[in-house]
Structure 1
Amino acid sequence: MSVEIALRAARVRYGPLEALHGLDLPVPAGTVTVLLGRNGAGRTTALRALAGTVRLSAGRVLWQGVDVTRLSAHERARRGLCLVPDLRAVYEGLTVADNLALTAPGRSGSPGPAPYPELLPLLSRTAGTLSGGERRMLALSRALLAPARVVLVDEPSLGLARPIAARTYRLLAARAVRDGAAVVLAEQRVPDGLPPGTVVHELRRGSLVWSGEPAESA
């Protein structure tokens, strides 16, 4: 498997607190990678470091072998990186339709809420009036519809009903297996239904403590 993007000896500090302690994290193309750990383990910080929304205090970010550590988050997004954070992941003042239109800039016509038909009756609503689960579906539509090479999602199933969560994991797996994207999911436990070849990395207090396959993590 070729490595699409990677952290190399990455350190991130929030004031006096070091959240990542020299983390090495390779993310293969065409594969789902799961970052496993409890709150405070460093999962979210690792995603943000890859996306460029937090700065490294030491180490590098390599994208297809090229050092992109100094590239801003919006420059990485232009190159094909999509981050779906766990909170504040939609434009609350825009309608659902407008949020969806931003998922694939330059595409003719509206991309439509294909992954989530539940959003169809809500197209004219502003995102700030949606329920938590509806906002999550809208945010996830960006990862599922945008032509991204790297897809980073923090807790995909947050606020979703079980059947919709299961559908979400199938769709995210298809982004990796069918489309060749490097998909990284930050999770507190390994979800069901991940494709063969999924790689799990367990983080604890900002360090990598274990790597393996989903069946080995139980």
Structure 2
Amino acid sequence: MSVEIELRAARVRYGPLEALHGLDLPVPAGTVTVLLGRNGAGRTTALRALAGTVRLSSGRVLWRGADVTRLPPHARARRGLCFVPDLRAVYEGLTVAENLALTVPGGAPAPYPELVPLLSRAAGTLSGGERRMLALSRALLRPARVVLVDEPSLGMAPPVAARTYALLAALAVERGAAVVLAEQRVPEGLPRGSLVQELRRGSRASGGEPHEYPRGAPL
């Protein structure tokens, strides 16, 4: 597997608190990587460090071997990185159709049929699961090389969540994207070759294949 993007000895501080402690995190291309851990383990901070929305206090971010540590988030987006955070991931004052148009100018079919009757609705009036579908549409419609998603199935009904993981898996398998998911449990339906990196207190605790980790209740 070729490494698409990675953190090397990454440290991130929020005031006196160090959230990442010299984390090494390689992310292969064409693969789904699950960052597994409890709240406070460093999963979200690792995604933000890859996306450039938090600064490293030390360490580096490498993209295909090139140092992009100082590259701002918008420049990483232009290079093909898509980050879907767990909160504030849609423009609440715009309609569903307008949110989709920001991703694909000129319009594109919504990847979730559930969004079609809601196209004229303001995003701020949607339920949590509907907002999640709209936010994920950005990753599913845009041809990205790196896709980072924090809690993909947050607020979704189980059938929609299962379909979401299948769509994200297709980004890796069919498009060759490096897909990174921050999760509290290993999701079902991951494609063959997926990887799990378990984080604890800002450090990598273990790594392996999905079948090596229990499913069901969060850690």
Q: TM-score range by the shorter chain?
A: over 0.9
1:85 is aligned to 85
- Map of 1:191 onto structure 2: 187
For normalisation by structure 1, the TM-score amounts to: 0.97
Residue 127 of structure 2 is aligned to residue 131 of structure 1: yes
Aligned to 2:53: 53
SS in 1 for 2:103: coil
CA distance in 2, matches of 1:38, 1:25: 17
**Which residue is equivalent to 1:95?**
95
Q: CA shift at 1:152, angstroms?
A: 0.2
State the alpha-carbon separation in 2 of the partners of residues 171 and 180 from structure 1.
13
Q: Say which SS state the counterpart of residue 93 (structure 1) adopts.
A: coil
- Note the 1:144-155 alignment, pairs <5 A: 144-155=140-151
The whole-number CA distance in structure 2 between the counterparts of 1:180 and 1:214 is 19
Which residue number corresponds to residue 75 of structure 1?
Answer: 75
Identify the residue that residue 197 of structure 2 maps to in structure 1.
201
Measured against aligned partners, the alpha-carbon deviations of 1:126-151 in whole angstroms (never above 9, x if no partner) come to: 10111111101000101111111000
Superimposed CA distance per residue, residues 25-70 of structure 1 (whole angstroms, 9 cap, x where no aligned partner): 0000000000000000000000000000000000000000000000
Matched residue, 2:175: 179
Letter in 1 for 2:107: S
Alpha-carbon contact 1:104-1:147 (below 8 Å) kept: no
> Which residue identity does 1:90 align to in structure 2?
V
Q: Return the offset for 1:104.
A: 2.9
The 2-side partners of 1:10 and 1:73 are apart by: 17
Q: Partner amino acid for 2:153? A: S
> Which residue does the alignment assign to 2:108?
111
**Which residue identity lines up with residue 122 of structure 1 in the other structure?**
L
Give the whole-Å Cα distance in 1 for the aligned partners of 2:127 and 2:145. 29
CA deviation map 1:79-112 (0-9, x unaligned): 110000000000111110010111235xxx3112
| Residue 12 (structure 1) aligns with | 12
Letter in 1 for 2:3: V
SS of 1:102 mapped into structure 2: helix
> Where does residue 2 of structure 1 map in the other structure?
2
One-letter amino acid matched to 1:11: R
Runs (4 or more) in structure 1 with deviation over 2 Å come to: none
SS of aligned partner of 2:91: coil
1:40 maps to a residue whose letter is: G
Q: Deviations over 1:130-183 (max 9, x none)?
A: 111110100010111111100000000000000000000000000000000000
Q: Which amino acid aligns with 1:101?
A: A
Aligned equivalents of 1:102, 1:185: Cα separation in 2: 23
Q: CA RMSD in A?
A: 0.6
